[in-house]
Structure 1
Amino acid sequence: MPSSFTVRSASGYEQLMGRWSRQLAGPFIDFSGIAKGERVLDVGCGTGSLTFALPQAAEIAEVEAIDFSPIFVEEARRRNSDPRITISEGDACAIPFPDGGFDRALSLLVLHFVPAADKAVAEMRRVVRPGGVVAAAVWDHLGGMPGMRMMLDTVAAQDEQARSLRAHYCFQPMMRPDEMRQVFMAQGLESVEQTSLMIRMDYENFADYWDPFAAGEGPLGKYVAGLDPESRARAGEAVRAAYEAGQPDGPRSFAAVAWACRGVVPGGG
């Protein structure tokens, strides 16, 4: 089942989101737990933010990483130099591994882009052994992403299409309070816990913030790329004014909050 995330290039994704997912990987691993000798599955690995952080956090035995996008898989493979890591194309809703083969299945910033996110959680549970851990994190687009809301709210004031995009963007799967916890429990996971993780997104200037959108990366970039030239220029100037907020262009910092959830596969000793 394809992701709803739009990716045009690995480098564009890195500027849009990869640099922030790398920051979030550490807190997510701390919350999810990891132990020496484990076999771990990274579901929706992207360019490898979580994949490459896992061996640095513990002396794990193996990491299998999958992603639906061949662009991401190619880039992650290019970056990989660790023989313990294998990266391949795969569907979060039909994980290409047998039952119970992993100690943990982790998914960082992916499930909100999977239309049948509950099926992905079920698949993650299936491939983890009894007593193993399933964990995931998604951005809180409604209340925890002021940098992205700034862009969305600005263009929504100009355009009905942007208002429709905002309605979808803010309520993607797993984003409502307690939604992930309820899905984890519905899939039979035990000892389910949910929390919030926060990083900061720091930009050098407006171009550092805006360029990935202008290049068509991600759902918001797809919207910008679909505008006619005049509307695109008008949107860019309006978002620039919001970013600068009456001060000269330069560095800006935005908090970014993710929902994170973990649960244990029943049957462990």
Structure 2
Amino acid sequence: MTSSFNVHDAAGYEQLMGRWSQKLAPLFIDFAGIADGEKVLDVGCGTGSLTFALSRAAELSEIDAIDYSPVFVEEAARRNTDPHIKIGQADACALPFEDGAFDRAFALLVLHFVPEADKAIAEMRRVVRPGGVVAAAVWDHFGGMPGMRMMVDTVAALSEGGRQLRNRYFFQPMMQPGEMKRAFVAQHLVDVVETQLMIRMNYGNFDDYWAPIAAGEGPLGKFVCSLEGSDRVRVDTAVRSASEAGQRDGPRSFANIAWACRGVAP
């Protein structure tokens, strides 16, 4: 497996996305369901937003959390104080667990960064017992993330490289309406339901929004850090102008929508 998410460092990820994953996690758990005594797998745990929310949500017998990135695994392990949580590095497309080992397998904000997302869903289904639940959520980059779209549309207006970024960013795996549901059904999951979950991303000012991207975090940060000289200055200036929208710099709040899907293993 490869991942299209550019990991720079854990602190930068937290500012870029981790803080918003923490807000989304309880909504996702409510949708996916959880019960005391269950054994749950968190696929693509990142720095632990869902992992630790699961620990707070129920008295689970065990939480296994895996991620492809050693940076994330190290940070999640550093934060962990729950003996029921096991954290390790693994491939979402080749999970190191036996068939039917878990009551539930979850993936929060992961599948759109897995090029072989269908294979990851198949693996999640494999490791869940009959009657267990597979659930996932991904951001709606095209229609549900105005804060990030502000930046992507701005750079697309400036260069061919920006337009190529937009084409990649908006149409990553599992992001289109009904796409995850079709993928779940194709893996023979039953009682499949897809819905939308919404949070707000609240920024103190432009630097709060821009700093992790400017430092190279994620796919947008990777693009920005590939620019040099006047091209970089032009992008920085244009995105700041888009954020300010003719007003003074200050707090900004953006609604953000994730597609969420769950299904039952037959």
- Give the structure-1-normalised TM-score: 0.98
Q: Hey, what does 1:249 align to over in structure 2?
A: 249
Instruction: Flag as ranges the 4+ runs of structure 1 deviating above 2 A.
Output: none
Give the Cα separation in 2 of the matches to 1:163 and 1:118.
27
Give the Cα separation in 2 of the matches to 1:157 and 1:190.
43
Question: Residues 224-265 of structure 1: CA distance to partner in whole angstroms, max 9, x if unpaired?
Answer: 000012211110110001101111100000011000000000
SS of 2:134's partner is strand
Question: Residues 134-169 of structure 1: CA distance to partner in whole angstroms, max 9, x if unpaired?
Answer: 000000000000000000001111011010110111
Shift of 1:3: 1.0
Question: Residues 177-207 of structure 1: CA distance to partner in whole angstroms, max 9, x if unpaired?
Answer: 1000000000000000000000000000000
Give the Cα separation in 2 of the matches to 1:231 and 1:168.
20
Please show how residues 63-78 of structure 1 align to structure 2 within 5 Å. 63-78=63-78
Please show how residues 73-84 of structure 1 align to structure 2 within 5 Å. 73-84=73-84
Q: Hey, what does 1:165 align to over in structure 2?
A: 165
Please show how residues 18-37 of structure 1 align to structure 2 within 5 Å. 18-37=18-37
SS of 2:222's partner is helix
Question: Residues 44-84 of structure 1: CA distance to partner in whole angstroms, max 9, x if unpaired?
Answer: 00000000000111111110000000000000000000000
Q: Hey, what does 1:175 align to over in structure 2?
A: 175
Give the Cα separation in 2 of the matches to 1:42 and 1:3.
16
One-letter amino acid of the counterpart of residue 107, structure 2: S
Q: Is 2:251 aligned against 1:231?
A: no
Structure 2 unaligned segments of length 5 or more: list them: none
Q: Hey, what does 1:220 align to over in structure 2?
A: 220
SS of 1:239's partner is helix
Please show how residues 43-122 of structure 1 align to structure 2 within 5 Å. 43-122=43-122
Give the Cα separation in 1 of the matches to 2:8 and 2:108.
20
One-letter amino acid of the counterpart of residue 132, structure 1: G
Q: Hey, what does 2:15 align to over in structure 1?
A: 15
Question: Residues 30-50 of structure 1: CA distance to partner in whole angstroms, max 9, x if unpaired?
Answer: 000000000000000000000
Give the Cα separation in 2 of the matches to 1:8 and 1:240.
22
SS of 1:263's partner is strand
Structure 1 unaligned segments of length 5 or more: list them: none
Give the Cα separation in 2 of the matches to 1:110 and 1:235.
28
SS of 2:36's partner is coil
Give the Cα separation in 2 of the matches to 1:19 and 1:231.
30
Q: Is 2:147 aligned against 1:152?
A: no
Q: Hey, what does 1:134 align to over in structure 2?
A: 134
Give the Cα separation in 1 of the matches to 2:159 and 2:202.
28
Give the Cα separation in 2 of the matches to 1:230 and 1:156.
16
Instruction: Give the % identical residues.
Output: 71
Greater displacement, 123-132 / 54-63: 54-63
One-letter amino acid of the counterpart of residue 114, structure 1: V
Q: Is 2:240 aligned against 1:261?
A: no
Q: Hey, what does 2:125 align to over in structure 1?
A: 125
SS of 1:71's partner is helix
Give the Cα separation in 2 of the matches to 1:230 and 1:38.
55
Give the Cα separation in 2 of the matches to 1:229 and 1:105.
45
SS of 2:223's partner is helix
SS of 2:193's partner is strand
Give the Cα separation in 1 of the matches to 2:88 and 2:65.
6
Aligned residues: 266
Give the Cα separation in 1 of the matches to 2:150 and 2:202.
14
Shift of 1:209: 0.5
Give the Cα separation in 2 of the matches to 1:2 and 1:35.
32
